[in-house]
Structure 1
């Protein structure tokens, strides 16, 4: 295919730098999220994964480079343009983040009531359709305290797609779920992405389930990209850090022991230890 005829990526990072003071979280990072695909963003804790989501959503602004959302630089958007862009985004927060004093129906209805002026009867119908898509229409009158962790995550997913977004971000959607709920959530993410024509990015540490549903995987490390490609390509990477992460090895470039003085300095005679 002629490269000029290929569809423009839905999200693109171009030489992005972001950090706090002298500490760079992302330093010269470039990647793209293809339209209609599921991209997994992985790496050790503190590697910049959540920062990527914040840069896409405009909560943070890149200190250098461009973050393009459907061809437009998020960093150059004014408040009204950013608000309009966010309306095209769905977000599933870690552990669901449901409003505890609202029913399941009202939780899913919240973005519709906040961003539209639809009549309440239509809001109710839309909410019931979204809940039906995640298998929880029958739970509409329950409170968050009355549902399981897996159900809460599915309710949050229904809320994330309530406005029919083009793009959905998932922040650790599998954390704390039992194997059945985890598998259900993963299948829903994949099915909804394909059925609704979404573009999705998943921040996750669950290698097996995430690799099963992702089209491409990006591994962040040390301020840059350690690996990028299909799940099989990343799984077979020869990079030591990527190999350690994918295979859950206790030691490697990411050390088990935090750097410190030698053990003899802490336990030697000068500190009351035995010679």
Structure 2
């Protein structure tokens, strides 16, 4: 298994340059530019529908930017052919929301799947790798269990073991804390931080959980209106006086993001006059 490593470009493993993208007539990203430093945990945050998961899809090549460039290791993902894209994806790991395990495969077989799909390693070596990856997430003893027999938090850890099976340089996490109880959530957060340091990888974490995400992130990027609304270290954002940032991280209940979706006024909808 000899896949070339991503090159280092100005210490940024991932860079988006003036990226524009939308679904149909609905714009999502508007000339978005951001950089993900190599070896760090970068949190990607913002309101629902703000384009966070879309950024992950663009990096992984599931979607192509309509304008601009998505660079991974200095290579434009949007310009890759199928073979180049598959080679690039072998250097990436993805933790999907809620784990997305194969329900008909055991814990062991779920983690072994990418090794069997992308390598020709002998079974004895695959077994050793799978057990090491499960050991890294504390679930070596659960190897024979089926997904239906484990908790949501355990399923998320199995999915993480599968994501690191091919020793990726980049791991992307899509809402890794969604639906977890406080203990499982804290365990998952510590695991992301620990694996990032131990494996020397680069992590992008999409999350709405401000408290846990701020504890593990080196830098935080907040998206708004299809662009970077704010970025900095967790401490820098906590100290910000920007109304959008203060509303987002929960310091202020009210702010630029309105509760009501834009639409006709009450007078227009109900044909009545409302006292002001």
Partner SS state of residue 10, structure 1 = strand
Q: Counterpart in 1 of 2:46?
A: 43
Residue in structure 2 matched with residue 130 of structure 1 by the alignment: 133
Partner of 1:191: 194
> Residues 247 and 119 from structure 1, CA distance in 2 versus in 1: closer, same or farther, beyond 3 angstroms?
same
TM-fit CA distance, 1:251:
3.4
Change beyond 3 A, Cα 1:262–1:28: closer
Distance in 1 (alpha carbons) for counterparts of 2:272 and 2:33: 52
Residues in 2 aligned to 1:267 and 1:66: alpha-carbon distance in whole angstroms: 47
Which consecutive unaligned segments of at least 5 residues does structure 2 have? 1-7
For each residue in 1:201-222, what CA deviation from the matched residue of structure 2 results, as whole angstroms up to 9, or x when unmatched?
A: 0000000000000000000011
Q: Which runs of 5+ in 1 are unaligned?
A: none
Corresponding residue for residue 9 of structure 1? 12
1:224 equivalent to 2:198? Answer: no
1:63 aligns with 2:66: yes
Larger Rg: 1 or 2? 1
In structure 1, C-alpha distance between the alignment counterparts of 2:131 and 2:245, rounded to whole Å: 42
Q: Structure 1 residues 23 and 108 mapped into 2: Cα distance closer, same or farther (>3 Å)?
A: same
Q: 1:100-150 deviations in whole A, cap 9, x for unaligned?
A: 000000000000000001111111110000000000000000000000010
Distance 2:251 2:120 in 1: 49
Residue of structure 2 equivalent to 1:19: 22
Measure, in 2, the Cα distance between the counterparts of 1:46 and 1:6: 30
1:66, distance to aligned residue in structure 2 (A): 0.8
Is the 8 Å Cα contact of residues 39 and 218 (structure 1) preserved in structure 2? yes
TM-score, with normalisation over the residues of structure 2? 0.92
Aligned partner of 1:33 in structure 2 is 36
Residue 153 of structure 2 is aligned to residue 177 of structure 1: no
SS of 1:259 mapped into structure 2: coil
Q: Residue 143 of structure 1 corresponds to which residue in structure 2?
A: 146
Aligned to 1:253: 256
* Pairing 1:102-113 to 2, within 5 Å after superposition: 102-113=105-116
C-alpha deviation, 1:78, in angstroms: 0.8
For 1:43 and 1:65, locate their aligned partners in 2 and report how far apart those are by CA, in whole Å: 21
Note the aligned Cα RMSD (angstroms).
1.9
Instruction: With the length of structure 1 as denominator, give the TM-score of the two structures.
Output: 0.92
Residues 29 and 258 (structure 1 numbering): CA distance in 2 closer, same or farther, change over 3 Å? Answer: closer
Q: Deviations over 1:251-275 (max 9, x none)?
A: 32221233344445656769xx9xx
Q: Deviations over 1:182-239 (max 9, x none)?
A: 0100000000000000000000000000000000000001111100111111222222
Contact 2:9 2:73 in 1 (8 A): no
Counterpart Cα distance in 2 of 1:24 and 1:200: 26
Q: Aligned ranges for residues 234-249 of structure 1 at < 5 Å?
A: 234-247=237-250, 249=252
Q: Distance in 2 between matches of 1:152 and 1:11?
A: 28
